[in-house]
Structure 1
Amino acid sequence: MSAGIQIIRKRADFVAANRGLRVARPGFVLLTLANSGQGKRYGITVTKKIGNSVVRNRMKRRFRELLREALPGEGLPDHDHVLIGREGGIERDFSKLREELAVALSRAAAGKGDPPRRRGPPRK
């Protein structure tokens, strides 16, 4: 990573990013939130629903590499970027994930997020 891009490590920062813009893609969900002058930062979350530790760590390595390539040029300045792994992400072709991340970052830059997730019981 270049010097201007830091890693988000605190849970509070991950929780705060959830209030930001949400862009869902088949392999991941991108959350972006302005961070008041702290530069470009990124975080990665892959839950146990995705698979065992081997699968989760592989997915995180792939996401780290995607962000390493994309954020310096396409990332939003002074924003936190959080990638949340989805079940389809582990089998997806790396070049397809790269394209999806480029689209997600451009949508986030344009302020075009997806609607927030519903909470509560499923509708009938």
Structure 2
Amino acid sequence: MTPPETDLIGTTANGATSPAVLSCPSLTVLTQRRDFQRAARGKRVAMSGFVLQMLRRPDGDAEGIRIGYTCSKKVGNAVARNRAKRRLREIARAVLPTEGRVGHDYVLIGRNGATAALPFSRLLDDLHKALAILHGPKK
């Protein structure tokens, strides 16, 4: 069995664009320690499966949505931490393009046992609720 033929990455053989490629080109991953430390000084909300930190960047730095993922050794060995981070990346990819705000940094922190064990739908619901709490009521 071979995969379907594609001319370009993100397009199928009939020319249609894959929805995964269009999800959100403005999601950027945080890699610098100072960005994680800045986000730690912002707002935070603890949910059952993760902790979400949010920081609004200064007005001159509105280059889309930035997201970071972290799991400490308390979460488990490398396999458990990587599984937890994969799940955090997927919920962020599903929710932040529509509910995240441009000009904000978000950091998802995995929790011991819960991030990898909770049902995926529960993690999605928790991220929706956490963003609603951090952003406040809609105006």
Higher Cα Rg, which structure = 2
TM over 0.5: yes
- In structure 2, the residue matched to 1:53 is 78
Q: Which runs of 5+ in 1 are unaligned?
A: 112-124
**What is the aligned partner in structure 2 of residue 121 from structure 1?**
none
Q: Provide the residue aligned with 2:3 in structure 1.
A: none
Deviations 1:50-76 (A, max 9, x none): 100000001111110100010110112
- Residue number among 24, 29, 40 corresponding to 2:51 in the alignment: 29
Judge conservation of contact 1:59–1:89 (CA < 8 Å) in 2: yes
Runs of 4 or more, structure 1, over 6 Å off, are: none
- What is the aligned-residue RMSD (CA, Å)? 1.2
The CA distance in 2 between the partners of 1:77 and 1:105, in whole Å, is: 13
**Cα distance between partner residues in 1 of 2:38 and 2:63:** 14
Displacement of 1:9 in angstroms is 0.5
Q: Are 2:129 and 1:107 equivalent residues in the alignment? A: no
Length-normalised TM-score, structure 2: 0.76
Give the AA of the match of 1:98: L
Q: Which residue of structure 1 aligns with residue 67 of structure 2?
A: 42
Residue aligned with 2:90, SS: helix
Identity %: 44
CA contact (8 A) 1:76 1:105 kept: no
- What 5-or-longer segments of structure 2 have no aligned partner? 1-22
Out of 9, 15, 18, which is 2:40 matched to?
Answer: 18
> Number of paired residues?
111
Structure 2: which amino acid aligns with 1:40? I
Q: Name the SS for the 2:48 alignment partner.
A: coil
